[in-house]
Structure 1
Amino acid sequence: MCFRTDIKVGCCGFACAVEAYFEKFRAVEIQQTFYRLPRPGTVAKWREQGPDGFVFSLKAWQLITHDLSCPSFRFLDEGYLPQALARCGGFRATEEVLDAWQALRGLAGVLHAGYILFQSPPSFEPTAEHVHRMEGFFRTIDRGRLRLAWAPPEGWPHKLISDVCRTSRLIHCTDPFAGPVLSRGPVYFRLQGITGYRHRYSDAELMQLRRFCRRKSGVVFFNTIHMQEDARRFALLLPKR
């Protein structure tokens, strides 16, 4: 029986020198955009270096998803007033959050990105207020042709995740070894390591991942200490396109 799939495989971040990465993989999840936005010239260079058909995904800026209490805010450039930072995060429809989206979307346009991943912190609990904020944010923004994925924190009920993804037209970002996909359409698999960050995927586990990808389209990103090796091994299991 023919195995059909349209999956691009890569890593969370450039796992090696950029030039070498583009020779090995067909997708990447840019991590830098979570902490601070790179210069447009840097992004344009990535686009120029990337081969035809290469898929870029940007991790959404923390100003959109996280609040000032998160330790990652220490990586922000200087110049943000505390009063402005206090209005950031949690998908609030504030001027600061919407400006952060416009800046991120601008970089996505330069990069010709295919996806943006929004990753919520553990403090983003499954409350009615948080659901309302998400719906308002995604209803307000102009996504163009971007596919938007959302990685909810632990503790969100499956039905609520499914409802949010359907209402706001989001891809449920998940590790298929940890739980089911709760949205329809393309998949956004983010492999966190079955036993943790140091996990090395066995041949049997990669074959199981291959079955998860059958008749699917989308992206698979590895995010472990062995991500470069495991992503390469998994890509060899998929049909050549």
Structure 2
Amino acid sequence: MKTKLPDACLQLTLLCIIFLVINMATVALLPIELSRLVRVSTTLLLLLFLSYHRGHKQLIVFLGILFFALRDSLIIDYETEFNKTFVFIITIFAYLLLVSVPLKKLRLSKSTPVIIIFVLTLIALNVFNVYYLSDVVRNELDTPYQLVLFFVQGAVLIVLGFVGFMYNERVEGKTPLIYLYFVLCFILSDLCGLAAYFFKFEPAYFPERAFYIIGLVLLVNFSLNQKIIQESRITERKREYLL
């Protein structure tokens, strides 16, 4: 069966290159408010691209990108207390949506409890490390609730990373690999954003934006790939029915 996936992938690759060039230029040359505006515009354009290719049928992924777009629109005026609080909340919900995508395909095994204990240990270590650095982080936050949300976001991100590794390990095909790649991009983007915003290491804004855009592009690719797989399965079922 012929599909439009190769054409869509080529278009997506070209868009990724264009978006990377534009965003790197805006980070380098424009005030941060305009750079943030370009960021949300990039997310919205990728959301429109996904809708054009009927990727919205993958509802969870579509909602995840929609949450990212809403989050990015709030980041434009990130320094206000309301926006900063809801950026944390929306990011947590977006990551949880992405965590839920492959859960049905991950079968429990004898090693699962060990993995869960290992993940919980990493989360505890992450909380300890962030708490140790909390004086630096707290200076950029407005309320104790934002610090709690900061901890929660870090914990959810760790869970997302392990779900990505488990998905890629237990399910064959390129789809789990794409999932793992965009998860790693979001993790690296968050780490670079932490260094750039909270620790004032401004050169980290460049990899932060680059990893974020590549992660979004891979997420769109993942959604389109899922759509093609589902359409193929439907066609195969129809053939079996006719036979």
TM superposition score normalised by structure 2: 0.25
The structure whose Rg is larger is 2
Higher helix share: 2
TM superposition score normalised by structure 1: 0.25
